[in-house]
Chain A
Amino acid sequence: MNCLDFRRFRLSDPYSTDAENLSHRVECEACRGFENEVRKLDKQINKALTVEVPEGLAARILLNQSLQSKPRKPTRWYWLSMAASFFLAAGFIFYWTTVTEPVERALVQHLEWEQPIVQSMMMPVQQPQIRQVLNSVNLESTTALENVVFASTCIIDGELVAHLVLEDENHQFTLVLLPQKLIDVDKALQFDDEHWRGVISPDQSGNSLAVLASANDSASFDSMHALIKRLKDSVKPLKV
């Protein structure tokens, strides 16, 4: 490491314990002086950044939260909506317990629950974040996954999974990558729920891949199978 590299490095991370950096520091007196200068600047910056926090801030936050979550006096509409919710929930329970299979039920339940958060957080996701999410479930992609607008890890049925959303001009696909075989059959399972349609497919290495689209989206099952094939070609178990 030369003096220029050292100084550049120190300006981005003055307290790094990088070995190469530390050894240059020992050898070069001028760079030691430079480092001290940068650290002095950081102390000044810290002092300038430390603005006073308004008194009672935490108490006001807690008060605000208690007011927001305080139950309101029930109105006629409240009781009507409660009754409607009850019948709707009963309908869903009947539907799920009689029509759908456990794997897709768990997936659909998770997506229904998380959809408002996902929608509010959608924005183009950079490759390092995608990599990080895949690595968290012991997977990696050999090619860059394009058009990803959401990437996060989630827990479905107690298992950590990668949850991604891909969006192109016409369709929005939800991908769920499970580092565990969820279904025993070797071929893909296709389902058509009231709110979601999708394909779940196990692969050779013991993973399950699910591609889903909202029932409002016109994406065909063929396009989902094609996407699963592409994913199987690029997403592999992480090599340690």
Chain B
Amino acid sequence: MVDKQTRYENLVNAYSSWLYRYAYWLCGESSSAEDLVQETFLRAWRFMDSLKEESSAKAWLTTILRRENARKYEKKSFSYSDVEMDEIPTPQTDFDDRPEVIALHVALRELPAKYREPLVLQVLEGYSLDEIAAMFTLPRNTVATRLHRARQKLRKQLEGNDKSLVNRGQSV
């Protein structure tokens, strides 16, 4: 029988990277993403006994992370006009910096959260429509529509970027 500490360490080793990536796309910033993952795992430690099936651990952690993020978001309802310019963090640069990847990165950031969240779960981790619907407590069709719109918006945005690159090339 594996003890609580070992179970916990296994969870951290297995899922911290995935949760960090998901958190990054939820809050859009690396230090906030790490804080969010830390808080998620602390809460998970407190409620480890309520995790009965190891197979549902990933969905359980994802749900805790989403709730922690919602809680933080509620607390942090300040106006952006209150923030001094020098307090704004420099843009994240720890990813592939080829132009097409950056264009897609920007397009993903601009995608409304309700479209981006299920897309991240599906593309990055292969969650099925049913699993996402259960996690978000939404009807399956709603999730399907959001994913459909997410991809449609990304396609349109990328097509727009291509055209503007071509136009810029012609004018030079």
Q: How many residues of B contact A (CB 8 A)?
A: 52
B24 CB to nearest A CB, Å:
5
Judge whether A53 is part of the interface by a CB distance below 8 angstroms: yes
Complex Cα distance, B47 from A46, in Å, reads: 32
With both chains docked as a complex, state the minimum distance between the C-beta of B19 and any C-beta of chain A, in angstroms: 9
B145 in the interface (beta carbon within 8 A)? yes
Query: Do A54 and B144 touch across chains, with their CB atoms under 8 A apart?
Result: no
User: Are A12 and B147 in touch, CB under 8 angstroms?
Assistant: yes
- B47 → A minimal CB distance (Å): 6
Report the minimum CB–CB distance from B22 to chain A (whole Å).
Answer: 9
Query: Is A101 on the interface with B (CB-CB < 8 A)?
Result: no
Q: Would you call the interface of chain A mostly helix, strand, loop, or mixed?
A: helix
Asked if B57 is an interface residue, CB under 8 A from chain A, the answer is no
**Can you name the residue of chain A whose Cβ is closest to the Cβ of B92?**
A51
Give the nearest-CB partner of B140 in chain A.
A128
For the complex, is B137 an interface residue (Cβ under 8 Å from A)? Answer: yes
The residues of B with any CB-CB pair to A shorter than 8 Å are: 8-9, 12-13, 16-17, 20-21, 24-25, 30, 34, 37-38, 41-42, 45, 47, 50, 52, 67, 92, 94-96, 100-101, 104-105, 108, 119-120, 122-124, 129, 133-134, 137-140, 143-145, 147-148, 151-152, 154-155, 158
**Would you give 28 A-B contacts (Cβ < 8 Å), ordered by A?**
A11-B148, A11-B152, A13-B122, A13-B129, A42-B151, A45-B108, A45-B154, A47-B104, A48-B96, A49-B21, A50-B21, A51-B21, A51-B92, A51-B94, A53-B16, A53-B17, A53-B20, A53-B21, A54-B20, A57-B20, A61-B12, A65-B8, A68-B42, A117-B47, A125-B137, A126-B137, A126-B138, A128-B134
Chain A positions near chain B (C-beta within 8 angstroms): 8-9, 11-13, 38, 41-42, 44-54, 57-58, 60-62, 64-65, 68-69, 114, 117, 120-121, 125-126, 128-129, 132, 155
